[in-house]
Structure 1
Amino acid sequence: MRKVALAFAAASMTLPVVALPTAAEAQGYYQGKTWRGSDGRLRCRRRNGTTGLIVGGAAGALAGRAIDGGRNRTVGTIAGAAAGALLGREIDKSRGFRCR
């Protein structure tokens, strides 16, 4: 019975998944990075900066730890992570924004 269940689970993961259109796509409002809102205004999809926040925080923590050369490097790590996260988020949000 266990082998049958594992075989069924493996087969179900290999089958292609059919993507169903969302309500906005079904009504024809959504066209890629822009869509028309319920009030008729054109809306743009923007990056929220999460990737930059995570990458910047990790890089900032490593840089802060390397810069703070004392016995207890916790303060440098935390300060570097905070500064790197804020900087990375702002860079990620401002990069590549164009609404047509």
Structure 2
Amino acid sequence: MICLKFKSNNFDDLDPTNAENIQLIESSLFILCLDNSVTTKTTQQQQQPRTGFRDSFHMARMNYAYMGSMLLHGGGSHLHTGNRWWDKFLEIIISKEGICGVVMEHSASE
């Protein structure tokens, strides 16, 4: 979400590169959110393989509430909330942990 100061699309006070980037974000149809890895919580609190590789069996044991919070709001301001754009119609979210999903703002499709 863009700061209310710039909501009128008056980017004159910004650096030209930043103004161009904000205009690109504002005019985009969807956002692709690429999240860094955070500590994975599992339902059984089991140790991760030492290789760091997470297979499909590991993904099946992940806590669904944790995955949902990461998709919907990024897990809080200390994690990935700054990488969510709720004013966009569609957000495609992919994390290094294998959590991926889509958040859609429904009113544009009604």
Instruction: Provide the TM-score with structure 2 as the length reference.
Output: 0.27
Task: Determine which structure has greater relative contact order: mean sequence separation of CA pairs < 8 Å that are 6+ residues apart, divided by chain length.
Answer: 2
Higher share of residues assigned helix: 1
Higher share of residues assigned strand: 2
Instruction: Provide the TM-score with structure 1 as the length reference.
Output: 0.29
Greater Rg by CA:
1
